[in-house]
Amino acid sequence: MKKIASGRSHKSDKSKWIGAIKDFKDAIDSSFEIIDMSSSKTQVRSQLFFIFCGVVTVISLIFTFISY
């Protein structure tokens, strides 16, 4: 966000256009880094499915031991 704000503030000054372009490029590169770090929807759904299966297994084991 800081790079975008800096780029916007410099874009009206012709002598600072190169700095503004560099700031925008840095902001775009940072955005792609953030996107790459986050999990995809498929990964999140599979992790939730495995957690759900684990919880169901633990609950069924608890009820099995209680019933004996």
Give the C-alpha distances (Å, rounded to integers) separating 41 from 8, 37, 44, 48, 64. Answer: 33, 13, 5, 11, 34
8 Å CB contact between 27 and 7: yes
Q: What is the pLDDT of residues 7-32, one digit of tens each?
A: 667 666 667 777 777 777 888 888 88
Q: Are residues 28 and 1 in the same domain?
A: yes
Q: Does the CA dihedral 47-53-56-60 come out positive or negative?
A: negative
Residues 1 and 33 in one domain: yes
Give me the pLDDT at residue 47, please: 92
- 38's enclosing H/E stretch is none
**Which domain, by its residues, includes 59?**
40-68
If one counts the domains in the chain, the total is 2
pTM of the model: 0.46
Question: Same domain, yes or no, for 44 and 33?
Answer: no
Are 32 and 45 contained in the same domain? no
Claim to verify: residue 2 and residue 27 sit in the same structural domain: yes
Same domain, 1 and 30: yes
Whether residue 6 is found in the same domain as residue 32: yes
